Structure 1
Amino acid sequence: GTMPPMTETLDSGKVVGLDIDLANLMAETMGVKLVIKVMPFEQLIPALESGKVDVVLSNMTINPSRNLRVAFVGPYLNSGKCMITREEKIATADNPEKLNHPQTSIAVLKGSTSEDFGRMLLVKARIVPVKNYAAGIELVRTGKVKAMLSDYPICVAVTRQHADEGFVTIFSTLTYEPIGVALPGNDPLFINWMENFLQRLDKVGLLQMLATKWMGEIKLKEMEPESRDQR
């Protein structure tokens, strides 16, 4: 519940976001009651493996290591890595090597592909894992880190929500981040249902409507790898 615009816990305790709207549509279509469980990101796949949850819908990138443990359906959204910073020098860096030195400190969500990316390509930088994105943004705001490495939807949300605080977002096409729905690997009927469900939402334009609601004037098709390569 701490990854706006995908998931966010309000002061009232209610959880909202693009992923929550999608989960509500799933439950309504299946005719079941939706129960939302908020937990740290690194606990999501273990919770799915143990049966504590039936589905993980939390801005989760489909990658090979996760896919060895659970099944994925999607992507329902394509993304890539981006940096959020308040420093012009970092904002104008045009390749990772310019950030790869000990003076660069970067916040990343613990257990995420952003942490993997940072430790793999920015080996000389100081990588600072955080428990949620709100904590990472606070570190950037207070100058305790130079930037936060995250996924494109998160960067969009931060710059919109903190428009007067001088945050700058750098979008990178160095990574392809397909965002999918994680499911138990031993339930082929459920996997097939989810494939058909997401395909239907895409074809009738509901996925685009959700993206517009939560991320503004953004076109999902333009976020696909083929479209980005043509820019």
Structure 2
Amino acid sequence: MKQGMRLVALALLGVVAMVMNATAADIDLAGKSTIESILKRGELRCGIDSGYMPFEMTDKNGKFIGFEIDLARELAKSMGVKYVPVNMAFDGIIPALLTDKIDIITAGMTVTQERNLKINFVEPFIVIGQTPMINSKHQGKVKSYRDLNDPAFTIVSKLGTTGEMAAKRYLPKANYKSFETETDAALEVLNGKADAMIYDLPFTSIFTAEQGGDKLFLIKEPFTFEPLAWGIRKGDPDFINFLNNFMHQIKNDGRYQKLYHKWFESTEWRKNMQ
């Protein structure tokens, strides 16, 4: 009987030890939360993909500039840390986040259900949509994105983006070609090598205005609903709470409005571009 009780006691001690170890592990993980890591490092590593006007770009001096860049700088300032942009290809940004190469995605990323299965999103900082930018040889013939759903048309967009998703989903009959950068895709249409580009309204609007001349025209009404938001790793409620509160604050204290005017309503920033 005593031996049996001894075995039970030992088993209970084993369970207690396991619980204590699990609790210690949880505490250790909590100590390595994203906020704590950022504050300890003194840096906020932001994943970007430079070239997305006017959100993330590189000016003629090699400096990263843009609407979302400035928003992220404000975030770093609010945390009392250094803003560190980590520039990479768009399709590598989520893997970089999941492997802790960056702390947050600030790369004009659209919230999609597919992406949301892998990462969490903060409250959207802007809502946009996809629009067709079309070579002028089709002026008067193409009046809607639906008119492009034909094998006679070649459609382009940037690899791994919602522009690519929209082109394949809404224009399945058209020929599709992807590019590493949005600028390369846009130039394909400008030079008459493709018929239309499907991409985010801010970019297509700016590119058409600056370089289109009589070679491009834009269907300005977006045919998709796309909230852009920052992405973080799952299982970090403290960080997402902080970021959502930051977004509420900046949208209501005047800073957001000033930055919006600077990048969307003014053209001064274009003087610094190459």
Q: Give TM class, smaller chain.
A: 0.7 to 0.9
Structure 2 Cα separation of the partners of residues 23 and 201 of structure 1: 11
Shift of 1:102: 1.3
Identity of aligned residues (%): 30
Write the mapping of 1:189-208 to structure 2, written as runs, cut at 5 A: 189-208=238-257
Superimposed CA distance per residue, residues 102-154 of structure 1 (whole angstroms, 9 cap, x where no aligned partner): 12111111011111111111111111111111111211121111111111111
Shift of 1:165: 5.5
Structure 1 Cα separation of the partners of residues 83 and 51 of structure 2: 19
Shift of 1:97: 3.0
1:28 counterpart (65, 77, 84): 77
TM-score, structure 2 as length reference: 0.74
State the secondary structure of the residue aligned to 1:5: coil
User: Quick check: 150-159 or 76-85, which moved more?
Assistant: 150-159
Structure 2 Cα separation of the partners of residues 86 and 172 of structure 1: 17
State the secondary structure of the residue aligned to 2:107: strand
State the secondary structure of the residue aligned to 2:257: helix
User: Aligned pair 1:86/2:131, yes or no?
Assistant: no
Shift of 1:213: 1.1
Structure 1 Cα separation of the partners of residues 112 and 122 of structure 2: 12
Shift of 1:163: 5.8
Shift of 1:161: 2.9
State the secondary structure of the residue aligned to 2:125: strand
State the secondary structure of the residue aligned to 2:122: strand
Judge conservation of contact 1:60–1:181 (CA < 8 Å) in 2: yes
- Which one scores higher on RCO, CA 8 angstroms, separation ≥ 6? 1
* Count of paired positions: 217
User: Quick check: 88-97 or 24-33, which moved more?
Assistant: 88-97
User: Quick check: 205-214 or 190-199, which moved more?
Assistant: 205-214
Cα pair distance change 1:155/1:200, threshold 3 Å: same
Shift of 1:205: 3.1
TM-score, structure 1 as length reference: 0.87
- Show the counterpart of 2:27: none
Shift of 1:174: 2.5
User: Quick check: 3-12 or 162-171, which moved more?
Assistant: 162-171
Structure 1 residue runs of 4 or more that deviate by more than 6 Å after TM superposition? none
- Show the counterpart of 1:68: 117
- Name the aligned partner's letter for residue 52 of structure 1: K
Q: Which runs of 5+ in 2 are unaligned?
A: 1-49, 267-274
Superimposed CA distance per residue, residues 29-54 of structure 1 (whole angstroms, 9 cap, x where no aligned partner): 11111111111111111111111111
1:134 counterpart (158, 169, 183): 183
Judge conservation of contact 2:190–2:215 (CA < 8 Å) in 1: no
- Show the counterpart of 1:40: 89
State the secondary structure of the residue aligned to 2:88: coil
More helix by share: 2
Superimposed CA distance per residue, residues 34-82 of structure 1 (whole angstroms, 9 cap, x where no aligned partner): 1111111111111111111111111110010001111101211000111
Write the mapping of 1:177-196 to structure 2, written as runs, cut at 5 A: 177-196=226-245
Judge conservation of contact 1:157–1:215 (CA < 8 Å) in 2: no
1:13 counterpart (47, 52, 62): 62
Cα pair distance change 1:210/1:91, threshold 3 Å: farther
Larger radius of gyration: 2
- Show the counterpart of 1:156: 205
Shift of 1:90: 5.7
Cα pair distance change 1:18/1:103, threshold 3 Å: same
- Name the aligned partner's letter for residue 122 of structure 2: V
Judge conservation of contact 2:133–2:216 (CA < 8 Å) in 1: yes
